[in-house]
Structure formats: C-alpha cells, structure tokens
Amino acid sequence: MTHRPTIATRARAVLGGLSLLAMACTLSPAQSPAHPKTIPLVSDTCPEVHPGDSVSLDVNPLFDPIWPVTGLRNFGLTFAKLADDGVHLTRENLFAGGRHSSASISALGTGYFHIEVTVPASRSIEPGVYNLVDATASADVVPDYTGPPPQMTSSPVDQRYCITVVGSSASPSQPGG
C-alpha cells in the first residue's frame, strides 16, 4: 500500500518552501545596502556611492618613459566636492586609493589596468557631488632602471568622472532618537 500525502500535507510543504524562499530573499546580500558594492565610473554621469563602496575604471596611464615599466604599483584618485552653486569646487576633497584607502589593480594587457578604489568610510565625508580632479599613478619598473620615475601622461581626469556620495544607510535610526 502506497502512502499518499493529503492536501493539507502538500499545502504545508508548499508554504514551508515559500517561507524559506522569502527568508532567503530577505537575507540576500545583493539587496542589503550594508554590503559594499563596486560601481563603475562612467564619463559624464555621477553614480551614487556610499562610504565603503568601491568605484572602478579601466585606464592606460601611458607612462613616459614606457620602456622600463613592468606594471602599476599604486593608483589614487582625488575627488573635489561641488559647491552649492553646482559649478565651483570646494576645498572638501575625497581621496580614494593611493595611500588613503585600499586599491585593487589588475593588468588587462596593452597598457590598460582595471582599478578599483574604496571610497573611505569616514564620518567627515559630506554627502554631495564630487568631481574627479586628480589622479596619481606609480609604475613598477625593471630592477636596474636608474632614471627618474616614469610619469603618467594620460589621466582619467580628462574623462569627466564624478560620483554622488550619499549618506550611509547601513545604520537604521533608533526609536526615540
């Protein structure tokens, strides 16, 4: 004799599966603003970033001289906040990469590198639009090179990158406060 589940047993199984699925969707890191994201920089757009997120770009620094360069040791970006008039820059700078925050550098070939730099998670960063105003790069060179450090001749500043820093939504407001 074969045991056949009743309609009530099937319904409980379906509801249990749906509740597990709903719980998994609720806990999904892709939906949680508390988890840092990597946002690609796109010319003439100002994507929203939270402190702790990373921004990425592909760049060819075109070092001069190029012959001793074997890779990219360090890369940094400096963003400056726009004034309330939306035209002028303030003295409020945001540094990403370099010696200020973590940077990830991957060689892509033909002189290009994929760069990911973290927007510092600091309470002193004011929300607003920040334009890329400076970029720095340090090249790795062959061990016997004795000349001056190769200089970056192609800057991503020419691409008109900007970001919109928004307040961190990772800490929910407390009742009564």
Q: Collect all residues with Cβ–Cβ distance below 8 Å to 25 and sequence separation of at least 6.
A: 31
Domains identified in the chain, total number: 1
Please tell me the distance from the alpha carbon of residue 158 to that of residue 72, in angstroms, as a whole number: 20
Look up the domain containing 87 and give its range: 38-165
- 8 Å CB contact between 58 and 113: yes
In a domain, 2, yes or no: no
What is the rounded average pLDDT of the residues 59-67? 95
Question: Residues 110-128: pLDDT tens digits?
Answer: 899 999 998 888 777 888 8
Please tell me the distance from the alpha carbon of residue 112 to that of residue 108, in angstroms, as a whole number: 5
Q: Is 20 strand, coil or helix?
A: helix
The domain that holds 139 is classified in CATH as: 2.60.40
In a domain, 16, yes or no: no
Question: Residues 36-61: pLDDT tens digits?
Answer: 799 999 999 999 999 889 999 999 99
